[in-house]
Amino acid sequence: EIVMTQSPATLSVSPGERATLSCRASQSVSSKLAWYQQKPGQAPRLLIYYASTRATGISARFSGSGSGTEFTLTISSLQSEDFAVYYCQQYNNWPLVTFGQGTKLEIK
C-alpha cells in the first residue's frame, strides 16, 4: 500500500494570503495525484487531477504541482470559502488507491 502523508495537519492563513499544502507519497506515483476539498457536512469536491490539471469549474486560484513522491497544492489569495479540509489521493497503484489524512486550512 502506498502511504500518503500530508503536511501540515493544520494550516492557519489569513484571508487574501497564499496557502501551500504538501503531500508526500511513500513511493513514486508518477503524476497520478488528485486533490479534493471537503467542507463540514459536505462531500469531497475534486479540485486537481494528474497533479496539476484543474477540474471543471475550479478557480484558477487553485494550482497543483509535483511528480513522483512530492506534491503541492497552492491556493492563492485565500477567500472565505476556501477554508476547509484538503485531501490528496494517489491513483497510480490502482485499484488500491489511497488518500492522505488531510490538511485543515483554517482562518488565522
Partner 1 sequence: QVQMVESGGGVVQPERSLRLSCTASGFTFSRYPMHWVRQAPGKGLEWVAVISHDGDNKYYTDSVKGRFTISRDNSKSTLFLQMNSLRAEDTALYYCARDRGIASADYFFDYWGQGTLVTVSS
Cα separation, 77 vs 84, in Å, equals: 15
- Mapped onto helix, strand or coil, the DSSP state of residue 80 is helix
Q: Say how many residues touch partner 1, by CB under 8 A.
A: 23
3 binds partner 1 per the rule CB under 8 A: no
- Cα first-last separation, the chain: 35
66 binds partner 1 per the rule CB under 8 A: no
Q: How far is CA 31 from CA 1, 10, 62, 67, 102, in A?
A: 17, 25, 17, 5, 19
55 binds partner 1 per the rule CB under 8 A: yes
60 binds partner 1 per the rule CB under 8 A: no
27 binds partner 1 per the rule CB under 8 A: no
Q: Which residues form the interface with partner 1 (CB under 8 A)?
A: 32, 34, 36, 42-46, 49, 55-56, 87, 89, 91, 94-102
